């Protein structure tokens, strides 16, 4: 009987197979256990930064169930003693964390894996996610003030007593919102993971290129 040598899996295949296990596990961990603790972790830096950035426009940020309420100092047109509140839904941004954890855990040879997980989460992802929530909050604030539809977002029924932002600024806020909601939550964890595991990634790419060339040469 002829035996065939088992060819070791390529690093990229190993990553893919491990990611198929690690990503769902991390997403489940996030969804069922860690969503709320992560939101609590984010809340204070977001609140502090919002008050620093928009001191004359923001009264406070409070948690109300699943959402955060940005209480503004901007009076309503019809009830000038009542201040406007803007509902924010920040949970979606915390998906950055399980994506990063899943990738780090799936990497076959990750230097200082636990340091990557803890340091990457605390020092890189946390500030990045705070920035994402602020980009989103800034657009919501702008939408309540400028009051016309951009990126398909309907403004509220009520009007505020505040001058609108210049058009270019409002559109820049809309771009910021789109980036914060659609692009950066997936790009950031991948970029941070790639930066931490550059050496392994280079090796995996070289291996993939060599194997592609070998297959091409064999015809």
One of 163, 168, 215, 217 touching another protein (CB under 8 A): 163
Kindly indicate which of the ranges 23-31, 36-44, 108-116, 148-156 contains the residues binding another protein, using the contact rule CB under 8 A. Answer: 148-156
In the sheet that holds 58-64, the strands lie side by side as 58-64, 67-75, 83-88
Q: How many residues touch another protein (CB under 8 A)?
A: 21
Cα 209 to Cα 213: distance, rounded to the nearest angstrom: 6
CA neighbours closer than 13 Å in the CB half-sphere of residue 77? 11
Q: Give the C-alpha distances (Å, rounded to integers) separating 176 from 5, 63, 193.
A: 53, 23, 23
Q: Is 194 in the site for another protein (CB under 8 A)?
A: no
**Residue 150 DSSP code:** B
One of 109, 161, 183, 209 touching another protein (CB under 8 A): 161
160 in Cβ contact with 145 (< 8 Å): yes
Q: Is 200 in the site for another protein (CB under 8 A)?
A: no
Kindly indicate which of the ranges 41-49, 97-105, 151-159, 180-188 contains the residues binding another protein, using the contact rule CB under 8 A. Answer: 151-159
94 in Cβ contact with 119 (< 8 Å): no
Q: Is 149 in the site for another protein (CB under 8 A)?
A: yes
3-state SS, residue 151: coil
Q: Is 203 in the site for another protein (CB under 8 A)?
A: no
One of 47, 113, 147, 171 touching another protein (CB under 8 A): 147
The minimum distance between CB 171 and another protein, in angstroms, equals 14
Q: Is 64 in the site for another protein (CB under 8 A)?
A: no
Kindly indicate which of the ranges 27-35, 105-113, 158-166, 181-189 contains the residues binding another protein, using the contact rule CB under 8 A. Answer: 158-166
User: Which residues in 40-59 contact another protein (CB under 8 A)?
Assistant: 55-56, 59
**Among 4, 8, 11, 208, which residue's Cα sits nearest to residue 216?**
208
CA neighbours closer than 13 Å in the CB half-sphere of residue 104? 24
One of 24, 119, 164, 203 touching another protein (CB under 8 A): 164
Long-range contacts of 160-166 (CB under 8 A, 24+ apart): 160/72, 160/74, 160/75, 160/76, 160/77, 160/84, 161/74, 161/75, 161/76, 161/77, 161/80, 162/57, 162/74
Q: Mask: binding to another protein, 70-109, rule CB under 8 A, as x and -?
A: ---x-x-x--xx-x--------------------------
Site of interaction with another protein (CB under 8 A): 55-56, 59-60, 73, 75, 77, 80-81, 83, 146-149, 154-155, 159, 161-164
């Amino acid at each position: 009987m002829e035996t065939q040598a088992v060819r070791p899996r390529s690093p990229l295949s190993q990553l893919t197979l491990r990611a198929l296990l690690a990503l769902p596990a991390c997403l489940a961990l996030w969804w069922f256990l860690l969503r709320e603790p992560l939101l609590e972790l984010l809340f204070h830096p977001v609140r502090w930064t919002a008050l620093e950035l928009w001191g004359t426009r923001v009264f406070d940020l409070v948690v109300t169930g699943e959402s955060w309420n940005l209480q503004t100092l901007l009076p309503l047109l019809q009830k000038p003693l009542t201040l406007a509140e803007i509902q924010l839904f920040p949970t979606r941004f915390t998906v950055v964390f399980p994506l990063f954890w899943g990738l780090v855990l799936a990497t076959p040879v990750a230097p200082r894996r636990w340091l990557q997980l803890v340091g990457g989460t605390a020092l890189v992802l946390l500030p990045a996610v705070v920035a994402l929530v602020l980009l989103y909050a800034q657009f919501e604030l702008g939408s309540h003030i400028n009051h016309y539809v951009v990126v398909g977002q309907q403004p509220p029924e009520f009007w505020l007593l505040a001058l609108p932002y210049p058009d270019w600024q409002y559109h820049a806020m809309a771009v910021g919102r789109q980036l914060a909601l659609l692009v950066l939550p997936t790009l950031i964890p991948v970029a941070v993971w790639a930066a931490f595991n550059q050496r392994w990634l280079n090796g995996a790419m070289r291996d993939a290129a060599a194997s592609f060339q070998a297959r091409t040469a064999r015809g």
